[in-house]
């Protein structure tokens, strides 16, 4: 029996968590696509969706210009699940009522399922009382006809509702955020028990899907892929390699900002495991010249992004072929944090936190059309795909490493001296922390080149630099917590770095969460 591959369509009302909802659906192993609320019903139903999820959003449903559910969406017999704004807008569309809440609810709130809710599939395998994460100042005050109230909180009488015949449901809270303990359970109840969707989102399916997309974008033309040595570009290259084979050429621009031994690993190990066609261009001197005297992180990123493309163009022009496409391993968090994402397509905007070199830092007059097969995916999904494509563990399990490399891990000028100090310290830290790599997301090692601190080495006063260890735990790098390494491990890293790297007098641990801190220091 063939699996139904039709998607769950997530309609975005400008929610902060829109892609996260799409991701939660995929975590249930069900294919999902995210579309802005401005999409017409014809376009939505052309995809034959198996179910529809309506996201939250910042607007007030009672405002004249508030985003609306595409006309006819609730009449088609396709199961619908509304979250927060989506929930209120279902009530609004079907002649229920909403009003300004007497008390807005923000953060964790206790929710109580009533007798009617307890009998409903939406609440299967969930406790009757649950902490849920809320963020609203509007509430549903009257149910639409044919709907039943399922749950309440202290301040919100109608906190969840549904119409079993129409298979339309909604909740006031946010099941997609980790703080709502049974959020994923509820989403899966809706998808699997109410909409009866069978699991269809597997690594093999993503690969098949992407390979088809890549083939239709590139056709029989030629593409070039920039390898950075990291998992993202490696997986993107392997995917495109599968799609267009010998029409892909991989180029590794050695910008001189990699960690110890990494250049060799790209040159030898990657090629061996993928059979990819690779050209290595060593422009490290050029990058260092351009970075001379530069201390501002955004300026470093822009310089590296720009030079990266120029180096690419130069390397490509040395080849006889005509390449029109550039493959990049951009992930979804890169796009969001560079101020893009589905919200941008829907007309809203997100703040630019950092210009990731493979998104915000590209020059306007770039000669290539971009191919970004991973741009809707999160790191863990990319790792799964890499594994399914047969990439070895040392590539698939590699910690994330920023495109601008060690340049954004040197607070101060990027020069040969500072790079070799950082490389030496980084090498030691990696060696000692290796056993923890399954638990930590990544551990940037940062050189505070512009800071000097007093120490004692060999009974003498020594004026050297501090090194920062930044071990973090994270699910997708959008948020992160600092990771508590055992004292003996920290002591070992600290002793070895201060003993073996003569310019370092002090080792400190960064204990900042993200937000407010980012993972990389620059
Ligand atoms: P931040 O520092 O923004 O990092 O919390 C989030 C994740 O992204 C990585 N990172 C980058 N990746 N190009 C990349 O490809 C970049 O310019 C870049 N800057 C940060 C970072 O290592 C972390 O995993």
3-class secondary-structure state, position 142: strand
Q: Is 409 in the pocket of ligand 1 (CB under 6 A)?
A: no
pLDDT in tens, 455-510: 998 888 999 999 999 999 997 788 899 999 999 999 999 999 999 999 999 999 99
Q: Are 495 and 502 in contact (CB under 8 A)?
A: no
Q: What angle do CA 20, 21, 25 make, to 5 degrees?
A: 115
Ligand 1, atom 11, lies closest to the CA of 402
**pLDDT for the residue 342:** 47
Domains 8-194 and 203-396 share a fold: yes
Tens-place pLDDT, residues 163-205:
999 999 999 999 999 889 999 999 999 999 999 999 988 899 8
CA 398 to centroid of ligand 1, rounded, Å: 14
Cα(76)–Cα(72) distance, integer angstroms = 7
Give the pLDDT confidence score for residue 21 in this predicted structure: 94
Q: How many CA atoms lie within 13 A of 435 on its CB side?
A: 6
pLDDT at 261: 83
pLDDT at 153 over 70: yes
Report the pLDDT value the prediction gives residue 363, as an integer from 0 to 100: 59
Q: How many CB atoms lie within 10 A of CB 45?
A: 16
Q: What is the whole-number distance in angstroms between the Cα of residue 429 and the centre of ligand 1?
A: 19
Ligand 1 atom 4: residue of nearest CA: 519
Query: What pLDDT was estimated at residue 201?
Result: 86
The predicted model scores a pTM of 0.69
pLDDT band at 229, cuts 50/70/90? Answer: confident
At 228 the pLDDT is 81
The mean-pLDDT minimum among 101-115, 144-158, 211-225, 249-263 falls in 249-263
Give the tens place of pLDDT for each residue, 268-294.
877 777 778 899 999 999 999 999 999
Ligand 1 center from residue 181 Cα (angstroms): 28
Residue 436 has pLDDT above 70, yes or no: yes
Asked: is 203-396 a CATH 3.40.50.620 domain? The reply is yes
- Compute the distance between CA of residue 172 and CA of residue 156 in angstroms, rounded to an integer: 9
Distance CA 503, CA 453 (A): 10
Whether the Cβ atoms of residue 139 and residue 151 lie closer than 8 Å to each other: no
What tokens does 422 get?
A: 């950082």
* Catalytic positions, written as ranges: 84, 174, 176
CA of 356 to the centre of ligand 1 (A): 7
- Three-class SS of residue 99? strand
Tokens encoding 41: 């019903």
What element of type H or E holds 96? none
Tell whether domain 8-194 is in CATH 3.40.50.880.
yes
CA distances from 434 to 257, 394, 405, 427 (A): 21, 12, 20, 11
Q: pLDDT > 70: what percent of the chain? A: 93
Instruction: Quote the pLDDT of residue 268.
Output: 80
Q: What is the pLDDT of residues 376-410, one digit of tens each?
A: 888 888 999 999 998 888 788 888 889 899 999 99
226 lines ligand 1 (CB under 6 A): no
Average the pLDDT over each of 217-231, 262-276, 431-445, 484-498 and give the range with the smallest value: 262-276
Please tell me the distance from the alpha carbon of residue 99 to that of residue 142, in angstroms, as a whole number: 9
Reduced 3-state DSSP string for 258-289:
CCCCHHHHHHHHHHHHHCCCEEEEECHHHHHH
CB atoms closer than 10 angstroms to residue 15: 27
Query: Hey, what CATH class is 410-509 in?
Result: alpha beta
308 or 81, which is more confident = 81
Locate the ligand 1 atom nearest the alpha carbon of residue 355 and give its number. Answer: 17
Residue nearest to atom 17 of ligand 1 (CA): 356
pLDDT of the residue at 346: 40
Domain residue limits, the chain: 8-194, 203-396, 410-509
- Work out which ligand 1 atom sits closest to the CA atom of 403: 13
Is the model's pLDDT at 304 over the cut of 50?
Answer: yes
Task: Take atom 6 of ligand 1 and give the residue whose Cα is closest.
Answer: 477
Q: DSSP assignment of 396-455, as one string? A: HTPPP--TTGGGGGBSS---HHHHHHHHHHHHHHHHHHGGGTTT-SB--EEE-TT--EEE
Residue 362 has pLDDT above 60, yes or no: no
Confidence (pLDDT) at 243: 95
Give the pair of three-digit tokens for residue 306.
């720009």
Average pLDDT over residues 508-518: 95
Question: 47 or 276: whose pLDDT is higher?
Answer: 47
């Amino acid at each position: 029996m063939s699996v139904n591959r039709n998607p769950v369509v997530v309609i975005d009302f400008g929610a902060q968590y829109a892609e996260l909802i799409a991701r939660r659906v995929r975590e249930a192993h069900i294919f999902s696509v995210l579309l802005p609320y401005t999409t017409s019903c014809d376009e939505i139903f052309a995809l034959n969706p198996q179910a529809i999820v309506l996201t939250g959003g910042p607007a007030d449903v009672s405002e004249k210009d508030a985003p609306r559910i595409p006309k006819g969406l609730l009449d088609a017999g396709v199961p619908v699940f509304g979250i927060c704004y989506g929930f209120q807008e279902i009530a609004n569309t079907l002649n229920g009522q909403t009003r300004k809440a007497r008390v807005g609810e923000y953060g964790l709130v206790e929710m109580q399922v009533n007798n009617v809710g307890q009998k409903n599939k939406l609440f299967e395998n969930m406790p009757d009382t649950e902490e849920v994460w809320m963020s609203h100042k509007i509430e549903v005050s009257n149910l639409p006809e044919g709907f039943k109230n399922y749950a309440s909180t202290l301040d919100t009488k109608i906190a969840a509702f549904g119409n079993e015949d129409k298979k339309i449901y909604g909740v006031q809270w946010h099941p997609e955020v980790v703080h709502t303990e049974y959020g994923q359970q509820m989403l899966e109840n809706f998808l699997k028990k109410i909409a009866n969707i069978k699991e269809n989102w597997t690594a093999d399916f993503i690969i098949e899907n992407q390979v088809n997309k890549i083939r239709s974008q590139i056709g029989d033309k030629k593409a070039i892929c920039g390898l950075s040595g990291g998992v993202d570009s490696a997986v993107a290259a392997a995917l495109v390699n599968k799609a267009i084979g010998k029409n892909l050429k991989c180029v590794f621009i050695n910008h001189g900002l990699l960690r110890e031994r990494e250049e060799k690993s790209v040159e030898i190990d990657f090629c061996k495991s993928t059979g990819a066609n690779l050209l290595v261009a060593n422009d490290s001197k050029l990058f260092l010249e351009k970075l001379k005297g530069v201390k501002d992180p955004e300026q470093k990123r822009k310089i590296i992004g720009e030079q990266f493309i120029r180096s690419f163009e130069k390397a490509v022009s040395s080849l006889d072929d005509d390449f029109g496409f550039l493959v990049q391993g951009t992930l979804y968090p890169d796009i969001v944090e560079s101020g893009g994402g589905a919200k941008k397509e829907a007309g809203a905007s997100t703040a630019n936190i950092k210009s990731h070199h493979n998104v915000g830092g590209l020059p306007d007059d770039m000669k290539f059309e971009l191919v970004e097969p991973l741009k809707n995916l999160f790191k863990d999904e990319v790792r799964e795909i890499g594994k399914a494509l047969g990439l070895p563990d040392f590539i698939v399990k590699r910690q994330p490493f920023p495109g601008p490399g060690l340049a954004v891990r040197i607070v101060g000028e990027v020069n040969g001296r500072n790079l070799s100090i950082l490389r030496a310290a980084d090498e030691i830290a990696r060696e000692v922390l290796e056993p923890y790599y399954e638990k930590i997301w990544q551990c940037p090692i940062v050189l505070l080149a512009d800071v000097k601190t007093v120490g004692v080495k060999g009974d003498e006063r020594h004026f050297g630099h501090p090194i920062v260890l930044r071990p973090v735990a994270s699910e997708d790098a959008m948020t992160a917590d600092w990771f508590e390494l055992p004292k003996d491990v920290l002591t070992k890293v600290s002793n070895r770095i201060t003993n073996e790297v003569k310019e370092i007098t002090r080792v400190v641990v960064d204990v900042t969460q993200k937000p407010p801190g980012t993972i990389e220091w620059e």
